[in-house]
Structure 1
Amino acid sequence: MQGPWVGTWRPHPRRGPILAEFNTPGPKYGLPGTTGHPGHDPTRQRAPAYSFGTTTYPSAATCSPGPQYFIDSSITKSGKHVPPTALVTARPKTKIVVTPGPSDYTTEPADKHVYHSARANSIFSRPKDIKCSQTPGPAAYSLPRILGPRTPSTPAAPCYSMRWKSQYQSCFQDMAKTPGPAAFNKVDLDVYKPKAPKFTMRIKTKAVGTGTAPGPAEYNPGKLSATKTRDPAFSFGIRHSAYEASVVPKSQID
Structure 2
Amino acid sequence: MAPYSVFLFMPAGPGPGRYALPPTVGYINHDYTKPSSPAYSFHSRMSSNMVSVDSSPGPQYHVDAKMTRFGRDGAPSYSMLGKKKKTADTFQTPGPGAYSPEKAPPLNLHYRPPSYTMAFRTRYRIVDPVPPPNRYTLPNLFSSHVPHKRSSASFTMSARRKAGGPSEDLSMTPGPSRYNRTDPSIYLNRQPSFSMQSRSNIPTDATSKPGPGTHSPEKVTAHLHRAPSFSMGVRHSEFVTPLIVDVLD
What interval of TM-score do these two structures reach, taking the shorter chain for normalisation?
under 0.3
Q: Normalization by structure 1: what TM-score? A: 0.14
TM-score (norm 2): 0.15
Greater relative contact order structure (CA < 8 Å, 6+ sep) = 1
